[in-house]
Amino acid sequence: MAAIYLWWIGADAADRDLLEQVRQQVGRTFEAPAVLWDDPSRPTGTYDTRRGQHSSTQILRWLAAHQPPGAMKTLAITDVDLFIPVLTFVYGEAQLGGRAAVVSMARLGDGTARVSPAMVSARLVKEAVHELGHTFGLTHCGSERCVMTRSVNMAGVDRKAAVLCADCRTVYRDRLLEGYDQ
């Protein structure tokens, strides 16, 4: 099985410990090698001056065109705020059944001591696994504890676990048989 690549594309320096936590959970959840990809390339032209945010869809297009060699899936992780046109913001976006996903840390904390670094880390891990789940063809799950449940706010993110529920795990394994790991 090829590897899942995690690529920091943030404006600030990467928090290597945080990325390592994401890498480990991604590897466990998808039972696949997960590696941190160091490359200074960053998408350009994704910033919308009117909204003051970056287009996650444009980042996905860039990422799909810049896959690391041999990558099965690539997850970009950033610290910039993301949007899609119909929503005020998104925590992330993925190509359903595709190879690229992006997740943002921008709204996972509030910049105060009320949200600890451990909580931000736990939230990032969940959203990273969630978006990568979409690249394997998984859709939103009705179980609020499953990582694939839809989260419209932080309470929703905090309620869910960082792992697939039994039903989504079964679907994931079926997707592997269908070649979603190519």
Hey, which residues are catalytic here?
131
- In this predicted structure, what is the pLDDT of residue 111? 62
Q: Cα–Cα distance between 165 and 25 in angstroms, integer?
A: 15
pLDDT tens, N- to C-terminus, the chain (182 residues): 689 999 999 999 999 999 999 999 999 999 999 999 999 999 999 999 999 999 999 999 999 999 999 999 999 999 999 999 999 999 999 999 999 999 999 999 876 667 788 999 999 999 999 999 999 999 999 999 999 999 989 999 999 999 999 999 999 999 888 887 77
Burial of 128 from C-beta contacts in 10 A (0-12 / 13-18 / 19+): buried
In angstroms, the CA 80 to CA 107 distance is 9
DSSP helix/strand/coil, 94: strand
| pLDDT given for residue 3 in this prediction | 95
Rounded Cα distance, 114 and 104, in Å: 19
Measuring CA to CA, which residue among 32, 31, 95 is closest to residue 67?
A: 95
CA atoms within 13 A on the CB side of 66: 20
